[in-house]
Chains A and B, each alone.
Chain A
């Protein structure tokens, strides 16, 4: 049995594989919110009630062989660096990153499934996978829910569907999202247009890196906004169709850039690699900007021996908590920036443009 620290530090394993449409879709995620009946929702519950929720769910998980290999972590006992690490790897929500008592997370051995207890809702279950695999993560999520509902009765009404602490989640309680990498659209200045059309479709778009969710690294997370009045199948269709359309636009944008402005593209890719290989101070925003170009270059046949999965992981490994966990301690910003630069030298030393 690995130590807790080692377990957490390996939680990017799921990103190592290649996935469908990996050049533009980094990952897919399905998440549901569920609550037990009558016990107050987590924000309002008293300590004994939160403890009771944990006990009930622990029992249900212990009783199901499906979960026998899952690892249980107590959020309150985790150091903030490790909470941050899990959040950067998309396993933990920002709500749980804050810490708190009577909050538990169960993680599957392949790191793709996480079950959070006493987030805003009693249960938040999430399933991740690489590339565009929304139907797959949704199917796995359904299986997890089925297993849990053998012993637990989720609060539900005929009128409002599954009941959640915040009305923004009521109904299906289902949030489907894709993490898109769209450097082509950003570079040819078509991204605003595409974002607008995604919004018009009833989906939300936000950046996932940066304090204010700016689109650092040319990453965009697209999710359904509405959870009530639509079936899970309808939500799947919405997001699948939109993702396919956006991928088409992104591929067009990349083709346009590389065919019409090959010198500009070549210059941009080479500068990105050269900067990453030769800097001694590198902040995460700049790192993400350059790594985004490298990831784009890989799609066009450059930067052997790197592949898309390597970059998906690298863009997480340059995040502050990942860096600090490598050293095992909190570090001031200056030291993180030099550590980041050194790590990038290391990882890119055998990489060239061709």
Chain B
């Protein structure tokens, strides 16, 4: 693991049909994906997360959907939301840097190993320099992955469309297969099949 910590997590991502595997330590795995939940025993509780998400997908129509995560701050000038920024990694205008000041620090640290132009404000470069190497190789991948994850997340307050649900489930299917939880994988596969059949039926 390039940051010096042992690589305890292997993440498999399917992007446009291509399989990408990334090995990360605990800390970077947690930063990398909100789907991973690492508890104090360092066990990845993917299964619990999957079960929770599946449960929320199976709500009766008419029930209010649970607010997954807020859109985050919004730029008063160009109206870009932080959530929308995450989808493309492109900011809307110069004022966005003020609006998302706190939230941007993480990305800036990952990209540049620094969070400001003033060298006295930056953390020590030593441990982050080698991490920059892994970021440069994975940078394009990181953007794509963030886009896939964000595309799969339904906007709060809106019922996720069938297409969104299918994308989400397919990602979960791959995670379950990686974790060798074939029972869960089978259930997810069935859910996907049902959703696909539903979406092919004529509208009522």
Q: Enumerate chain A interface residues (CB-CB to B < 8 A).
A: 35-41, 43-44, 120, 155, 157-161, 163-168, 170-172, 199-200, 202, 204, 225-231
Given A41-B93, A166-B89, 14 other A-B contacts at CB below 8 A? Answer: A38-B77, A157-B94, A158-B118, A160-B116, A161-B116, A163-B94, A165-B91, A167-B89, A167-B91, A171-B114, A200-B130, A227-B112, A229-B112, A229-B116
CB contact between B117 and one of A41, A44, A171 (< 8 Å): that residue: A171
Contacts A/B (CB < 8 Å), 27 sampled: A36-B94, A38-B77, A38-B93, A40-B78, A41-B91, A43-B88, A43-B90, A44-B93, A155-B94, A159-B117, A159-B121, A163-B91, A163-B94, A163-B97, A167-B107, A170-B112, A171-B117, A200-B130, A200-B133, A202-B132, A228-B117, A229-B112, A229-B114, A229-B115, A229-B116, A229-B119, A230-B119
Interface string of B125-137 (1 = CB under 8 A from A): 1000110110010
Cβ of B139 < 8 Å from any Cβ of A? yes
Contacts of A228 in B (CB 8 A): 108, 111-112, 114-117
| Docked CA distance A158–B89 (Å) | 22
Contacts of B154 in A (CB 8 A): none
* B117–A160 CB distance below 8 A: yes
| Docked CA distance A287–B114 (Å) | 43
* B90–A44 CB distance below 8 A: yes
* B113–A226 CB distance below 8 A: yes
The winner among B80, B97, B104, B113 for most chain A CB atoms within 10 A is B97
Interface string of B78-106 (1 = CB under 8 A from A): 10100000001111111101100100100
Given A172-B117, A229-B116, CB of A165 within 8 Å of CB of B90: yes
| Docked CA distance A225–B98 (Å) | 24
Residues B39-90 near A (CB distance < 8 A): 77-78, 80, 88-90
| Docked CA distance A338–B95 (Å) | 54
* B132–A44 CB distance below 8 A: no
B20 to chain A minimum Cβ distance, whole angstroms, is 15
A301 to chain B minimum Cβ distance, whole angstroms, is 38
Cβ of B138 < 8 Å from any Cβ of A? no
| Docked CA distance A73–B90 (Å) | 26
| Docked CA distance A44–B77 (Å) | 12
Cβ of B178 < 8 Å from any Cβ of A? no
* A161–B117 CB distance below 8 A: yes
Cβ of B162 < 8 Å from any Cβ of A? no
